[in-house]
Structure 1
Amino acid sequence: MPNDFGRSQRVASQMQKELALILQRDVHDPRLGFVTINEVVLSKDLASAKIYITVLNGDERAKQRNVETLNEMAPFIRHELAKRMRLRHISVLHFYYDHSFDTGMRVAELLQEVNNSDSGNGQA
């Protein structure tokens, strides 16, 4: 069983790299913004892949549209992925928005506000 975990992680890592290249070089859709692949999570049997993305400089609706567009393009992206990876079967791709980046930015803003209010109180 430990080998399954190692292989799954290696395949997920390689898939993440290849997906980033595919989105950068092969996908020319004006509906897509600047998309970053954050993580690829594969099922144990490698049959399905959850791909977590972030979209920079977009509101909530734009982020949702990017996820919808990528899910519509999933068969094309999967076909391109099959050309690049040496696997017998390529996982079915499902794209999801990763909210951890937004959460991290919000926490940083709150910490900055607390820092600024503390320095303001110390000078008074």
Structure 2
Amino acid sequence: MANNKIQARKESLILRELTLILNRQMEDELLKAISISEVRLTNDSELAKVYFSFIAFNEDITLDAIEDQLELRHGKIRKLLASKIQMRAVPELQFIYDTSLDNANRIEEILKKVNKG
């Protein structure tokens, strides 16, 4: 149980720091459009799966463009994270698009169609 609390604390810390890094320390507008919804660490804390979504406030912001920027800036983001967290080893970051909002919107549309018909 103590391990779960420690892991949850690490995940929360990584989520908070990554959010601050993307919003305040990265100059790229694409990365500022990202919202991190969840971070999941593997049991050995060597990999952090970072689930994100984004708001496309202009036509340049697409999933492909954001994924390209995350791949391009991956090293810098990880280095900035390392300077902010006190962990023996900074986990490798794997950015994953969070489809839960898309799924919720799809379900809502289906329910609207069912209620009309």
**TM-score normalized with structure 2 length:** 0.86
The answer for unaligned runs of 5 or more in structure 1 is: 119-124
Contact 1:71 1:94 in 2 (8 A): no
- Cross-structure match for 1:26: 25
Identity over aligned pairs, percent: 30
Q: Deviations over 1:71-113 (max 9, x none)?
A: 2211111111111111121111111111111111111122223
Contact 1:74 1:94 in 2 (8 A): no
- Cross-structure match for 2:95: 95
In structure 2, distance between residues paired with 1:64 and 1:7: 34
Superposed CA RMSD in Å reads 2.0
Contact 1:38 1:52 in 2 (8 A): yes
Aligned 1:69-84 pairs, distance under 5 A? 69-84=69-84
- Higher mean Cα deviation, 69-78 or 92-101? 69-78
The answer for unaligned runs of 5 or more in structure 2 is: none
**TM-score normalized with structure 1 length:** 0.82
SS state of the match for residue 73, structure 1? helix
Q: Deviations over 1:36-90 (max 9, x none)?
A: 001101111111111011022278x911221231122111111111111111211
Displacement of 1:33 in angstroms is 5.8
- Cross-structure match for 1:110: 110
